Structure 1
Amino acid sequence: MQRVTNCLIIKGEEVLLLKKPRRGWYAMPGGKMEAGESVYESVIREVREETGLTIIGPQLSSVATMTKASASAALKEWMMFTFITDRFSGELVDESPEGELEWIPISEIDSIPTAPSDRFIHQALLTKKKRLYASFDLDEDDQLNDYRVNEQ
């Protein structure tokens, strides 16, 4: 099972996202965990690799199971661990290997193109200020077939 970590990095009333070239969707900085790595170590490493920033004290705020029947065996099910922080150091890189970095106003988060599963995470963490535990079943285009969410 693949495991992915990512982080919503907040600066004032904005959040840092990556505009991914494949679909033009905005995504949270992050990526695949390495063998033996903790989710905490992974999110710090992944964010630094993609943004140049070192996040400080990220809080685990969402855990989601993702299933995709049309995917290869290794990607039929994976876990996504989303953190949130408003503390970081360093300088944002001019170019990220994963896409275009952009500070998005939180007030506009519901209107940007993003994966439907990410929209649930954004709303829970940024708008409702709640933790999210979820299961998302995706089709071959990463659209939702079904989902279950629990906000706390």
Structure 2
Amino acid sequence: MRRTANGILLKDKHILMIKKPRRGWYAMPGGKMELGESVKEAVTREFQEETGLLLEEPQLSGVYTYIIQNDEEIEMEWMMFAFSAKDYTKDLVSESEEGELEWIPISDVLDKPMAEGDRLIIKHAIERDEIMYGTFYYTPDYSLLSYRLDPSIK
């Protein structure tokens, strides 16, 4: 099973997002964990590789299972560990190989095009400090079929 770690950086009423070129969707910077790496090491490394920024004291904010389902057949499954941070060191890169980096006002971030599950994960990180657990079911073209969250949010 693939494992990923993503970071949500909330600073000065903004969130740093990356606009992916393939769909034009916004996402949390992060990526695949390497063999033997802890989830915190992974989010720190991946976030810095994509943004140039070193997260300070990232805190686990959610653990999620993603399932890609075509009719009743499961095509792929992976886990994502989401972290939140409120500060960083180092400098933002001028260009990222992964997409366009953009500081988005918190008031606007949920209106951006993104995977529907990501919208719920970001909303949770903005509004609550507790860890959320969840499972998201998507079609192969990333239309959200259903989800379960604990604690639940609207």
Partner AA of 1:93 in structure 2:
V
* Equivalent in the alignment of 1:120: 120
Asked if the contact 2:2–2:79 (Cα under 8 Å) also holds between the matched residues in 1, the reply is: yes
Residue 58 of structure 2 is aligned to residue 58 of structure 1: yes
| SS of corresponding position for 2:66 | strand
**How far apart, in 1, do the equivalents of 2:106 and 2:131 lie?**
17
CA RMSD across the alignment: 1.8
Identical pairs, percent: 48
* Equivalent in the alignment of 1:106: 106
Partner AA of 1:96 in structure 2:
S
Count of residues in Structure 1 that have an aligned counterpart in Structure 2: 150
What is the correspondence of 1:1-152 to structure 2 with a 5 Å cutoff?
1-70=1-70, 76-151=76-151
Per-residue Cα deviation, 1:64-111 (whole angstroms, up to 9, x for no partner): 0000134xxxx6110000000011100000000100000000011221
Cα distance, 1:127 vs. partner? 3.2
Cα distance, 1:38 vs. partner? 0.6
TM superposition score normalised by structure 1 = 0.93
Asked if the contact 2:17–2:27 (Cα under 8 Å) also holds between the matched residues in 1, the reply is: yes
Higher strand share: 2
| SS of corresponding position for 1:121 | helix
Unaligned runs of 5+ in 1: none
Cα distance, 1:138 vs. partner? 0.6
**How far apart, in 2, do the equivalents of 1:21 and 1:128 lie?**
30
